[in-house]
C-alpha cells in the first residue's frame, strides 16, 4: 500500500469509528449492543429497545452526527483550499467575510423575522449573508484594490467583515431581545440539529466538496506563486474564483446549520499536512475525512463532558483542538530534527 | 473568530447573570419608621427628599414602583420596562446605560439592576442618588427590594401592604397544593436551544414551592444554575410539565414543541402539559411572581387530577 492509500484508509477508518462512537455515546445511556443492532438493521428497533431510545438514536443522535460530519468536512476542506489560493497558512473559511455576513443575516432574521419561523429563517438568512459577504469582499478586492491577487482579496475581506460586523452589532444593540438568540448561534449550535438541517446542508456541501476535489491538483500549482502558476499555463484568477465560490458555498452551508464554529478550518488541514505531507492531492481528501471525524468527536465531548448539560461546540473546538495541534506540531518537529 | 466567541460567551454570561443566582445577596439597608421621613440613607446612598423624578432602568423595579403607588413619581423608564403599560417608556437602556441621557431627565433617584461599569459612581458624581437592586436569588430579596423602594420613595406603608399581600397569596397558593403521591417533574425552557434553570435559581425555587421536581438539577454543576440541556436528555427525562419562557423571544408554543424531533414521546407533550408563560413575568422578580406561581400551581393541579383519574 502506498503512503497515500494508507493515509486515506486511516482517514476512512477514523471516520467510521467516530460515527459509531457518536451514535453509541450520549447523555442518555443506551446499551451499545442494542444500539449497534439498531444501526445494522437500518433503524429497526431490536427487541428490548424502548421506542424512546429508538427515537433518540434515529431522530436526535444520527442527524446530529451526520450534520457534524458535513460541517466539519466543509470547514476543513474550505480552510485547506483557502490556504492554497491565498498562500496563507492562517487563512480560514471565514477569511473573506463569510462569518460576518452570516452573523448579520442571522441577526436580521432574529430581529425582524417572525419568531415562530426562526428554524427556517435563520439558516436561510445566514446562508445568504455568507454569500453576500464573500461577494462584497471579492468585488471590492477586485474593483478597488487592484486585481485578483491574494492580498487584495484578503484586504477586501477584512474591510467587508469589519463593516458587516458593525452593522450587525448596531442592529443587535437596537434590539436587545435578540442578544441571546444571536449569541447562541454565534457560539455554534448542534444541540437542536435534526434531519431538516442535514437536508439543508447536504446539497451545497456535496457540490462544493466535489469541486474542490476536482481542482486539488491545481491547488499544488497555485501554491507555487501567481507568476509561476501562470507560466505553467494556469489561469490563476479564474481558479481563485472557482475555489472561493466553492469554499464559500460549503462554508455558508455549514454556518447556516451550525452557527460559527471557529478553528476547524485551520487546525484540521495543518494536522493533515503534518501527517501526510503538503500536497493537496492528499491534504484535500484527508481534510474532508478528518474534518468530519474531528467535529463528530468534538460534538461528542460537547454533549457528554458536563451531561446532561451541553458546552457550546465553538468553545470545545478551540479547547480540544489547540492542545491536539500543539502535540502534533511537537511530534513532527522532533521527527524532522 | 475567537475574539467574537469570547465576547459572545461573556455577553451570554452577563445576560444569564442578570437573571439571578450569581448576584450577591442584598444587604439589609436601614429601614426607618414606616412614615415617610426624609432624608433617608439606604446602602450608603442618601436621598434628601421625597423623589418626584425617578428614573428606573430595571423592568422589575418599574413594576415594583407602580405596585407601591410610586408610579406618578416616575419620570422615565428603560426600553425593556413594558409593564404596567402607563409607565413612561423611553429609549434609555439598562444594559448599556448612557449616563448623560439619564441625567437629561434630571432624576432625583435612579434605580437599576445590573452594574455595567460603574453607573452608581458616575451618577453620584453628578449628585444623583442611585439604588442598585440586583436580580433576586430568593423571595425574601423581592420583599426586601419592595420595602426598600417604599422607604426610598416615601411609600413605605404601601410597600409593606404589597409585601404582606404577596406573602399571604403565595401562602394560600402553596397551601392549596396537595403533596403528590409520586413526584411531578418539569422542564423550564429559557430559549429554543434548551437553556434551562436549576432549583437553586430564583425561578427554580418558585417551582419547588409547589412541590415540582426539576429535571435540570442533574446538570447542577454546569452553567451556574442556567445549564443548556441535551435534547436527548430531556426526551429521556420525560417531564410531566414543560414551561415555555420563550414564547415571546423565540416564538415557541405547544405546537412548535410537539414538532421537535423525538419530543412527541414526552409525557408533557402527550398529556397537554406544555404551558406557555409570559417571558417577561418569568424573568422578573416583581409583584407578578404571584401570578406566575398561580399559573404553575394550576398546571400542577391539572397533572394531579389526571393522575387521580
pLDDT, tens digit (0-9, with 9 covering 90-100), for B84-119: 999 999 999 888 888 999 999 999 999 999 877 788
CA distance A174 to A187: 21
Q: What share of chain A is helix, strand, coil (3-state, %, to 5)?
A: 80, 0, 20
Report the candidate in B14, B280, B252, B93 with the shortest Cα–Cα distance to residue A183: B14
Of B5, B192, B229, which has the smallest distance from its Cβ to A308's Cβ?
Answer: B229
pLDDT value of residue A208? 94
Q: Minimal Cα distance from B229: which residue of A?
A: A309
Contact A308 B230 (CB under 8 A): yes
Contacts of A210 (CB under 8 A, 6+ apart): none
Residue A49 clears pLDDT 90, i.e. is over it? no
Residue A264 has pLDDT above 60, yes or no: yes
For an interface test with A, give the residue of B2, B5, B268 to mutate (most A CBs within 10 A).
Answer: B5
Give the residue from B18, B92, B232 with the most A CB atoms within 10 Å of its CB, the best one to mutate. Answer: B232
Nearest CB to B5 within list A177, A307, A314 = A314
The average pLDDT across A105-113 equals 89
pLDDT at A304: 92
Higher confidence at residue A35 or residue B285?
Answer: B285
Facing residue for A28 by CB, picked from B195, B232, B261: B232
3-state DSSP assignment of residue A94: coil
Residue A80: the pLDDT is: 94
- CA dist list (Å): A263 to A99, A317, B5, B211: 12, 6, 11, 45
For residue A328, the tally of other CB atoms under 10 A from its CB is: 17
Contact B265 A306 (CB under 8 A): no
State the pLDDT confidence band at A337, using cuts at 50, 70 and 90.
very low
Q: At what angle do helices A236-258 and A150-174 cross, to 10 degrees?
A: 30
Phi/psi at B285 (5° precision) = -125, 35
The residue ranges of chain B whose pLDDT is under 50 are 1-35
Give B109 to chain A, closest Cα distance, Å. Answer: 25
Q: Per residue in A292-320, pLDDT tens?
A: 999 999 999 999 988 889 888 988 888 87
Q: Assess: ipTM above 0.85.
A: no
Q: Using CA atoms, how far apart are residues A300 and A70, in angstroms rounded to an integer?
A: 15
Count of Cβ atoms closer than 10 Å to residue B14 Cβ: 13
Q: How confident is the model at residue A334 (pLDDT cuts 50, 70, 90)?
A: low
CB contact under 8 A, B235 and A26: no
Partner residue opposite B249 with nearest CB, options A103, A165, A181: A181
B82, B89 in Cβ contact below 8 A? yes
Comparing alpha-carbon positions, the chain A residue that sits nearest to B92 is A174
Residue A115 near residue A178, CB atoms below 8 Å: no
pLDDT for position A332? 66
pLDDT at site A281: 92
Q: Chain B partners of A186 at a C-beta cutoff of 8 Å?
A: 4-5, 8
For residue A216, which of A254, A269, A255, A264 has the smallest C-alpha distance? A269
Residue A309 three-state SS: strand
Which of B222, B251, B265 is facing A118, going by the closest CB pair?
A: B251
pLDDT, tens digit, for every residue of A165-191?
999 989 988 887 777 778 877 777 888
Answer for the pair B262, B295: CB distance below 8 angstroms, yes or no: no
User: What is the average per-residue pLDDT within A122-129?
Assistant: 88
Residue A176: DSSP 8-state: G
C-alpha of B262 from chain center: 31
What is the C-alpha R_g of chain B? 21
Query: Measuring CA to CA, how many Å separate A206 from each of A198, A199, A266, B296?
Result: 12, 11, 21, 48
* Cα(B176)–Cα(B301) distance, integer angstroms: 9
- Which of A196, A254, A308 would you mutate first to test chain B, the one with the most B CBs within 10 A? A308
Å from A280 to nearest chain B CA? 25
Chain B residue with CA closest to A91: the answer is B1
The pLDDT value recorded for residue A76 is: 95
Helix B2-17, helix A313-336: angle, nearest 10: 150
Q: What is the pLDDT of residue B256?
A: 92
Q: Is the pLDDT of residue A197 over 70?
A: yes
For A200-237, b/e burial (b = at least 16 CB within 10 A) is bbeebbeebbebbeebbebbbbbbeebeebeeeebebe
Answer whether B229 sits within 8 Å of A51, measured CB to CB. Answer: no
Instruction: Compute the average pLDDT of residues A131-148.
Output: 79
Cβ neighbour number for residue B262 with a 10 Å cutoff: 21
Q: How high is the pLDDT of residue A1? A: 65
- β B74-77/B54-56 pair status: parallel
How much is the pTM? Answer: 0.83
CB contact under 8 A, B96 and A173: yes
Kindly list the distances between the CA atom of residue B162 and the CA atoms of A16, A307, A313, B57, B67, in Å, as whole numbers in the listed order. 64, 42, 46, 21, 7
* Interatomic CA distance for residues A128 and A118, integer angstroms: 15
Q: Distance between CA atoms of B272 and B16, rounded to whole angstroms?
A: 29
Chain A environment of B221 (Cβ under 8 Å): 306, 309
Element (H, E) at A278: none
Measured between beta carbons, the chain A residues lying within 8 angstroms of B254 are none
**Cα(A285)–Cα(A7) distance, rounded to whole angstroms?**
10
Q: How far apart are CA A19 and CA A293, in angstroms?
A: 7
Choose the closest CB to A180 out of B15, B219, B262: B15
Q: What is the pLDDT of residue B59?
A: 96
**Contact criterion met (CB < 8 Å) for A186 and B15:** no
- CA A164 – CA A107 distance, rounded (Å): 11
Q: How far apart are CA A45 and CA A230, in angstroms?
A: 58
* Nearest partner of B130 among B147, B111, B152, B157, judged by Cα: B111
Nearest alpha carbon to residue B252 among B194, B303, B203 = B194
DSSP string, chain B: -HHHHHHHHHHHHHHHHTTSSSSPPPP------SS--SSEEETTEEE-S--SSEEE--HHHHHHHHHTT-GGGEEEE-TT--SSTTS-B-S--SSS--HHHHHTT--SEEEES--SSSHHHHHHHTT--EEE-PPPSSHHHHHHHHHHHHHHHT-HHHHHHHHHHHHHHHHHHHHTPPPPSSPEEEEEESSTT-B---TTSHHHHHHHHTTEEEGGGGGTTSGGG-PBBPHHHHHHH--SEEEES-TTTS---HHHHHHSTTGGGSHHHHTT-EEEPPTTGGG--STTHHHHHHHHHHHHHHHHHHHH-
Cβ of A52: how many Cβ atoms within 10 Å?
17
Residues B166/B186/A179/A162 CA torsion (nearest 10 deg):
160
Amino acid at each position: 500500500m502506498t503512503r497515500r492509500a494508507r493515509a486515506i484508509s486511516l482517514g476512512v477508518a477514523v471516520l467510521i469509528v467516530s460515527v459509531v462512537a457518536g451514535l453509541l455515546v450520549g447523555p442518555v445511556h443506551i446499551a451499545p449492543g442494542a444500539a449497534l443492532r439498531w444501526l445494522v438493521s437500518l433503524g429497526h428497533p431490536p427487541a428490548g429497545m424502548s421506542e424512546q431510545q429508538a427515537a433518540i438514536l434515529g431522530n436526535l443522535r444520527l442527524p446530529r452526527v451526520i450534520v457534524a460530519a458535513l460541517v466539519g468536512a466543509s470547514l476543513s476542506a474550505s480552510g485547506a483550499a483557502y490556504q492554497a489560493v491565498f498562500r496563507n497558512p492562517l487563512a480560514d473559511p471565514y477569511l473573506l467575510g463569510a462569518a460576518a455576513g452570516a452573523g448579520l443575516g442571522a441577526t436580521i432574521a432574529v430581529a425582524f423575522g417572525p419568531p415562530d419561523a426562526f428554524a427556517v429563517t435563520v439558516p436561510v438568512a445566514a446562508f445568504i449573508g455568507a454569500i453576500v459577504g464573500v461577494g462584497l469582499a471579492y468585488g471590492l478586492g477586485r474593483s478597488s484594490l487592484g486585481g485578483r491577487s491574494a492580498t487584495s482579496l484578503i484586504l477586501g475581506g477584512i474591510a467587508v467583515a469589519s463593516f458587516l460586523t458593525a452593522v450587525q452589532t448596531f442592529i443587535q444593540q437596537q434590539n436587545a431581545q435578540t442578544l441571546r438568540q444571536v449569541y447562541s448561534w454565534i457560539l455554534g449550535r448542534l444541540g437542536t440539529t435534526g434531519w431538516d438541517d442535514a437536508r439543508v446542508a447536504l446539497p451545497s456541501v456535496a457540490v462544493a466538496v466535489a469541486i474542490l476535489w476536482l481542482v486539488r491538483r491545481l491547488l499544488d500549482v497555485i501554491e507555487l506563486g501567481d507568476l509561476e502558476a501562470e507560466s505553467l499555463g494556469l489561469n490563476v484568477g479564474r481558479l481563485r474564483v472557482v475555489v472561493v465560490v466553492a469554499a464559500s458555498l460549503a462554508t455558508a452551508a455549514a454556518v447556516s446549520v451550525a452557527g460559527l464554529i471557529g478553528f476547524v478550518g485551520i487546525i484540521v488541514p495543518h494536522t493533515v499536512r503534518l501527517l501526510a505531507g503538503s500536497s493537496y492531492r492528499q491534504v484535500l481528501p484527508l481534510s474532508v475525512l478528518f474534518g468530519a471525524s474531528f467535529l463528530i468527536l468534538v460534538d461528542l465531548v460537547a454533549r457528554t463532558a458536563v451531561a446532561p448539560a451541553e458546552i457550546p461546540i465553538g468553545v470545545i473546538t478551540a479547547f480540544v483542538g489547540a492542545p491536539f495541534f500543539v502535540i502534533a506540531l511537537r511530534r513532527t518537529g522532533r521527527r524532522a530534527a | 473568530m475567537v475574539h467574537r466567541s469570547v465576547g459572545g460567551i461573556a455577553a451570554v454570561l452577563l445576560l444569564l447573570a442578570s437573571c439571578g443566582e450569581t448576584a450577591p445577596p442584598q444587604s439589609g439597608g436601614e429601614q426607618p419608621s414606616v412614615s415617610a421621613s426624609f432624608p433617608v440613607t439606604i446602602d450608603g446612598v442618601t436621598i434628601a427628599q421625597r423623589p418626584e423624578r425617578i428614573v428606573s432602568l430595571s423592568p422589575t423595579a418599574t413594576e415594583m414602583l407602580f405596585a407601591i403607588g410610586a408610579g406618578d413619581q416616575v419620570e422615565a423608564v428603560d426600553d425593556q420596562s413594558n409593564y404596567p403599560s402607563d409607565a413612561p417608556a423611553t429609549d434609555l437602556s439598562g444594559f448599556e446605560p448612557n449616563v448623560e441621557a439619564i441625567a437629561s431627565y434630571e432624576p432625583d433617584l435612579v434605580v437599576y439592576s445590573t452594574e455595567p461599569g460603574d453607573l452608581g459612581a458616575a451618577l453620584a458624581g453628578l449628585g444623583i442618588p442611585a439604588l442598585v437592586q440586583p436580580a433576586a436569588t430568593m423571595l425574601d430579596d423581592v420583599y426586601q427590594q419592595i420595602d426598600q423602594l417604599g422607604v426610598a420613595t416615601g411609600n413605605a406603608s404601601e410597600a409593606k401592604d404589597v409585601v404582606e399581600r404577596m406573602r399571604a397569596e403565595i401562602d394560600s397558593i402553596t397551601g392549596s397544593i396537595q403533596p403528590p403521591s409520586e413526584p411531578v417533574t418539569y422542564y423550564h425552557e429559557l430559549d429554543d436551544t434548551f437553556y434551562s434553570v436549576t432549583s437553586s435559581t430564583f425561578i427554580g425555587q418558585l417551582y419547588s414551592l409547589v412541590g415540582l421536581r426539576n429535571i435540570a438539577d442533574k446538570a447542577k454543576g454546569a452553567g451556574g444554575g442556567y445549564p443548556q440541556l441535551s435534547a436527548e436528555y430531556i426526551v429521556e427525562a420525560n417531564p410531566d410539565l414543560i414551561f415555555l419562557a420563550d414564547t415571546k423571544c423565540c416564538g415557541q408554543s405547544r405546537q412548535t414543541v410537539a414538532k421537535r424531533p423525538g419530543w412527541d414521546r414526552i409525557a408533557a407533550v402527550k398529556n397537554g402539559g406544555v404551558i406557555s408563560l409570559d417571558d417577561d413575568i418569568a424573568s422578573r422578580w416583581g409583584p407578578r411572581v404571584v401570578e406566575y406561581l398561580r399559573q404553575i400551581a394550576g398546571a400542577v393541579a391539572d397533572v394531579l387530577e389526571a393522575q387521580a383519574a
